[in-house]
Amino acid sequence: MSEKIIEVSGLQKSYKEKHILKDVNFTIDKGSIFALLGSNGAGKTTIIKILSTLLKPDGGSAIINGFDVATEGNNVRECISLTGQFVAVDEVLTGRENLTLIGQLKRLPNLKSTVNEWLSFSRLEDEANRKVSTYSGGMRRRLDIAMSLMGKPDVLFLDEPTTGLDPQNRIAMWDLVKDLAKTGTTVFLTTQYLEEAEYLADNIAILHGGKIIAEGTPKDLKEIMPERGVRLIFDSELKANSAIKLLTENGVSADRIEQNLPSLEDVFLTLIDEKKERNQHEKI
Ligand SMILES: Nc1ncnc2c1ncn2[C@@H]1O[C@H](COP(=O)(O)OP(=O)(O)O)[C@@H](O)[C@H]1O
Ligand SMILES: [Mg+2]
């Protein structure tokens, strides 16, 4: 059994009459990448706020590194770092100055070389001496993460690290997250994208309707996913209509082959259907 660094049990949270988290349960292995997958409004940020001690839960418990987030907040805060959905870097400073400032606050030794290491880790060496106001969204977010990591947290929370990024910056962020896990930091990230969770995470939990409706490795989850097929796209309807026949008989090749990935909505529908079926069996 691997060591658990986060244990969440029966977590509940309402905003006035809105019951957002009903009964949330999951555990996270030390040193792993965990993805909390859910649609917009599912309650992902609410869970991150509770785990990072910014918000009190109404019920249930969350333990990080053996400390209860509700009653031992100081201990929890010492071993975590949070990079929110909205970036918190100082615009008028350069990337290097932002990192140096955080390093001074944390009283880090060998500050100059430490700052250089983090600039290199976040692939910002070439932009280090430019003001952050000139950075792209992706650069800002990478700087934000480097700032969060300077104190060497045991757990890093990344709330939707790639939302709003263009494909190039999204891939740079994916590389960064993969590198992060190699440093031994446990990464807790949220995402609305199934493919992102599948690519990055060791374990995925799907949050829907206030509960974790599925949990496991990407491989485990694939087994409960809607079936995947390969879609062949032709440039004329005639070709498409006779595709299978022509392919086998006359060797017509596809103009483009596209993998048909199920969306998160497809996953919900499949899981809900399965649940209905199970309930019906139980009634009979
Ligand atoms: N402070 C708040 N007061 C009232 N409702 C809130 C508050 N914060 C979040 N919500 C609502 O709770 C739900 C979950 O929000 P959130 O945790 O931000 O979801 P996610 O991060 O998955 O998009 C949403 O419907 C949101 O509008
Ligand atoms: Mg959110």
Pocket of ligand 1 (CB under 6 A): 15, 18, 20, 38, 40-46
Residue pair 230/260 in contact (Cβ under 8 Å)? The answer is yes
Expressed in angstroms and rounded, the spacing between residue 107 Cα and the centre of ligand 2 is: 32
The pLDDT assigned to 59 comes to 97
The pLDDT assigned to 69 comes to 97
- Strand 18-29 relative to strand 186-191, pairing: unpaired
In Å, how far are 42, 71, 160 from 38, measured between CA atoms? 6, 28, 10
The pLDDT assigned to 200 comes to 95
Could you report the per-residue pLDDT of 223-262, keeping only the tens digit for each?
777 665 566 666 666 666 676 676 667 765 555 555 455 6
Q: Other C-beta atoms within 10 Å of 13: how many?
A: 22
The pLDDT assigned to 57 comes to 96
Which residue stretches of the chain have pLDDT < 50?
Answer: 259
What CA–CA distance (Å, rounded) separates 193 from 160? 9
* Beta-bridge mates of residue 155: 80, 186
Instruction: Retrieve residue 246's tokens.
Output: 């022509």
What CA–CA distance (Å, rounded) separates 21 from 5? 21
**Which of the listed residues 17, 46, 51, 55 should we mutate to test ligand 1's pocket, taking the one with most ligand atoms within 8 A of CB?**
46
DSSP state of 235: S
Residue pair 30/186 in contact (Cβ under 8 Å)? The answer is yes
Q: Other C-beta atoms within 10 Å of 236: how many?
A: 8
Residue pair 137/161 in contact (Cβ under 8 Å)? The answer is no
The pLDDT assigned to 235 comes to 67
What CA–CA distance (Å, rounded) separates 76 from 58? 18
Estimate the share of the chain in helix, then strand, then coil, as percent rounded to the nearest 5: 40, 25, 30
Expressed in angstroms and rounded, the spacing between residue 46 Cα and the centre of ligand 1 is: 6
Expressed in angstroms and rounded, the spacing between residue 37 Cα and the centre of ligand 2 is: 11
Helices 167-182, 137-149: axis angle to 10 degrees equals 10
Could you report the per-residue pLDDT of 76-113, keeping only the tens digit for each?
999 998 886 666 778 899 999 999 998 998 888 899 99
**Which of the listed residues 21, 36, 45 should we mutate to test ligand 1's pocket, taking the one with most ligand atoms within 8 A of CB?**
45
